[in-house]
Amino acid sequence: MGRLNVRLCGIELDNPVIPASGTFGFGYEFAQLYDINCLGTFSFKGTTRERRFGNPTPRIAECTAGMINAVGLQNPGVDEVIGKELPQLKKVFHKPVMANISGFSLEEYREVAEKLEAVDQIGWLEVNISCPNVHGGGMTFGTQPDAAASVVKAVREVTKKPLIVKLSPNVTDIVAIAKSCEDAGADGISLINTLLGMRMDLRTKRPVIANVMGGFSGPAILPVALRMVYQVYAAVKIPVVGMGGVSSAEDVIEMMLCGATAVEVGAANLVNPFACRDIIRDLPAVMDRYGIDILEEIIGGGHLK
């Protein structure tokens, strides 16, 4: 293994940098800009059983040091993802990819997972129980330990692929939910998804977003994400994928010191489509600056003994 390599749920990555679901499409759009095989992997657009248009517009609002989105899991549905999107991706990305899945019932999670289980391109299933932008699904399952565990158990029955459960920060005790997912059979935990936020339009005196509230992401949420990654790493024995406000190589190292095995980059891709490429390019020099020889050796290194 090289300086940047890490192992995530038994699968080796060339580096720990992973574009987050919903910010990188199905990859091939970014492949027109640079060779996306430089990535560790990426988590493709959140996928449900049926095609979803998403929430009504407007569904994006700018904020200081971040943004709010309420896209609402817009996607073509799992059958089209398997039949069209993944074959197109295979032409430009030659590594295992992470499938982000969501649902509005245990049956839907099971069905989507079962279909993706048969796809060799898929390395991991990232089970999203944390989307704040849909009603009756997503985050509904991620706010209580028992509900979160029920999703993990349902998906575990139909797949042997590594399950990484994506958690919401919009909860009272994220550690309890993470431990419940681990006990139910999760192979990893990813966190955090977006914080719940909103903006008001002073001209119309109404909410900017048609959905009223949406997911707040961007550099402003990094300290919250670091705190939660630190807490969850200390409580579970499975790998943690950290995300939330990451936009630089320094942020990646900070996440890893808190306990992240790999690090997802989200909103930064929407500001700068070359963000992940640039972070990977910058990592060796930043490692040298801080006396880090092997990146994998610093995972959890910031915890007090």
Measured from the Cβ of residue 91, the count of other Cβ atoms closer than 10 Å reads: 9
Beta-sheet pairing, 60-63 with 66-69: antiparallel
Please determine, for residue 135, whether its predicted confidence score (pLDDT) is greater than 70. Answer: no
Q: pLDDT digits over 181-228, tens only? A: 999 999 999 999 999 999 999 999 999 999 899 999 999 999 999 999
Q: What pLDDT does residue 53 have?
A: 84
Q: What pLDDT does residue 137 have?
A: 47
pTM for this model (two decimals): 0.95
- CA 237 vs. chain centroid, Å, equals 19
Q: What pLDDT does residue 131 have?
A: 60
With 0-12 / 13-18 / 19 or more C-beta atoms within 10 angstroms meaning exposed / middle / buried, residue 213 is middle
Q: pLDDT digits over 214-227, tens only? A: 999 999 999 999 99
Q: What pLDDT does residue 133 have?
A: 43
Residue recorded with tokens 């950290």: 242
Rounded CA separation 75/89 (Å): 15
Domain chopping of the chain, boundaries: 6-298
Beta-sheet pairing, 66-69 with 214-217: antiparallel
Q: Which residues have C-beta within 8 Å of that of residue 249, sequence separation ≥ 6?
A: 279, 282, 283, 285, 286
Q: What pLDDT does residue 136 have?
A: 47
Q: pLDDT digits over 77-114, tens only? A: 999 999 999 999 999 999 999 999 999 889 999 999 99
Q: Which residues pair with 197 in a beta bridge?
A: 214
Residue recorded with tokens 């119309």: 204
Q: Picking from 12-16, 127-131, 168-172, 287-291, which range would have the lowest pLDDT averaged per residue?
A: 127-131
Active site residues: 131
Q: Please, what is the average pLDDT of the chain?
A: 94
Arithmetic mean of pLDDT, 46-57: 90
Please determine, for residue 1, whether its predicted confidence score (pLDDT) is greater than 80. Answer: no
Residue 211 contacts residue 59 (beta carbons within 8 Å) = yes
Please determine, for residue 17, whether its predicted confidence score (pLDDT) is greater than 50. Answer: yes
- CA 26 vs. chain centroid, Å, equals 14
CATH class of 6-298: alpha beta
Please determine, for residue 176, whether its predicted confidence score (pLDDT) is greater than 70. Answer: yes
Residue 44 contacts residue 97 (beta carbons within 8 Å) = yes
